[in-house]
Amino acid sequence: MLQRQLARAAALGFDFRTGVEPEFFLVNRQGTAIADELDQQTKPCYDQLALMRHYPLIAELLEGMEQLGWRPYQADHEDANGQFELNWTFASSLLTADRHAFFRVMVQAVAERHGLGVSFQPKPFAQLTGNGAHLHLSLWNSEGRNLFHDPAGVLGLSQLAYHFLGGILAHAPALCAITNPTANSYLRLAGAQTSSGSTWSPAWISYGGNNRTHMVRIPDDQRLELRLADGAANPYLLQAAVLAAGLDGIERQLDPGPRCDANSYTDPPQAASLPRDLPMALEAFAADGGLRGALGEGFSRAYEDLIQRQNP
């Protein structure tokens, strides 16, 4: 599925490059509680001591990624007690998807050797921030130039980047069926306030500048960050569907509309809300002929069947 969308992009002269941020919890073997009972801060984001208590495991993961040539550059404690995020360098989309798939197995396997369990579930603990899988993305040409970057553009991004963004916004409700594919996913999106004070997950179909309260963030003049997907998304379908939506935005020259600079949690934007549950997302997927057409009707039907069977 991803190769098909990549071929479509290549025919238009685009190389899709991405980075992914698969957040996860370290839990006990049964998965009933976080692994470290001392990890109790109210605002635990970047808690260095909690990170260091898992140092042997985290270091083994980083060394593994280094050996594999992934160029990891960051390891930190995330916003929920027991939650971590390890980041490696962005690459061409298919390679990132392969690494994303392998990463989930590697974290699980290594954690088990340390006597722990892992959860990538979108919302494993109701009162804590959930597990996102944010996707950073840009299109490059065959000479290795980033086509999203334009010093003269708004926030340093090109018209092409804004059309891609327009496609993501236009297809967002249907995309959720792929990016947020379980009933549990919808406890993370627009979730109730967490014990740290914020979910950091999107509730609206909106975008902002360097603002983590919107569905799409523009962190700098090189890329877009889609904050919609969660730990349950299939790594390949995630990228295939996002690329299909973005290419549609380019082909139809869609306008993403104005940026929202406010905090969307305290100051809701003038924007549609994301689907509130899986049936709403599946309904939107069923109604989005453009996205279905791009992904293929055969795939779309099989996927709907699978998701419905997995979430009776």
> Which residues contact Mg ion (rule: CB under 5 A)?
85
Amino acid at 78: E
Q: Given candidates 54, 77, 214, 227, which one binds ligand GLU under the rule CB under 6 A?
A: 227
Interface with ligand GLU, residue 212, by CB under 6 A: yes
Interface with ligand GLU, residue 124, by CB under 6 A: no
Tokens encoding 178: 């792929």
Question: Residue 16 binds what, of Mg ion, ligand GLU, none (CB under 5 to 8 Å, by partner type)?
Answer: none
User: Cα 40 vs. chain centroid, distance in angstroms?
Assistant: 26
Q: Given candidates 132, 167, 235, 246, which one binds ligand GLU under the rule CB under 6 A?
A: 132
Cβ of residue 27: shortest distance to Mg ion, in angstroms?
18
Interface with ligand GLU, residue 47, by CB under 6 A: no
Span of 129-137, 259-267, 273-281, 299-307 interacting with ligand GLU by CB under 6 A: 129-137
CA 244/CA 248 separation, integer angstroms: 6
Q: How many residues bind ligand GLU (CB under 6 A)?
A: 11
In the bound state with ligand GLU, the residue whose beta carbon lies nearer, of 23 and 288, is: 23
Amino acid at 271: A
> How many Å is the Cα radius of gyration of the chain?
19
Q: Given candidates 158, 201, 211, 234, which one binds ligand GLU under the rule CB under 6 A?
A: 201
In the bound state with Mg ion, the residue whose beta carbon lies nearer, of 100 and 149, is: 100
In the bound state with ligand GLU, the residue whose beta carbon lies nearer, of 132 and 235, is: 132
Phi, psi of 248 (to 5 degrees): -65, -40
Q: Given candidates 17, 54, 77, 188, which one binds ligand GLU under the rule CB under 6 A?
A: 188
Q: Given candidates 18, 87, 121, 129, which one binds ligand GLU under the rule CB under 6 A?
A: 129
Sheet containing strand 223-226, edge to edge, reads 91-92, 15-22, 133-140, 223-226, 216-220, 207-208
Cβ of residue 294: shortest distance to Mg ion, in angstroms?
29
Question: Residue 288 binds what, of Mg ion, ligand GLU, none (CB under 5 to 8 Å, by partner type)?
Answer: none
Interface with ligand GLU, residue 185, by CB under 6 A: no
Cβ of residue 24: shortest distance to Mg ion, in angstroms?
10
In the bound state with ligand GLU, the residue whose beta carbon lies nearer, of 53 and 212, is: 212
In the bound state with Mg ion, the residue whose beta carbon lies nearer, of 85 and 248, is: 85
Cβ of residue 126: shortest distance to ligand GLU, in angstroms?
13
In the bound state with ligand GLU, the residue whose beta carbon lies nearer, of 134 and 292, is: 134
Q: Could you tell me the sign of the dihedral formed by the alpha carbons of 180, 185, 189, 190, in that order? A: positive
Interface with ligand GLU, residue 194, by CB under 6 A: no
Q: Which residues of this protein are in contact with ligand GLU, per CB under 6 A? A: 23, 78-79, 129-130, 132, 188, 200-201, 212, 227
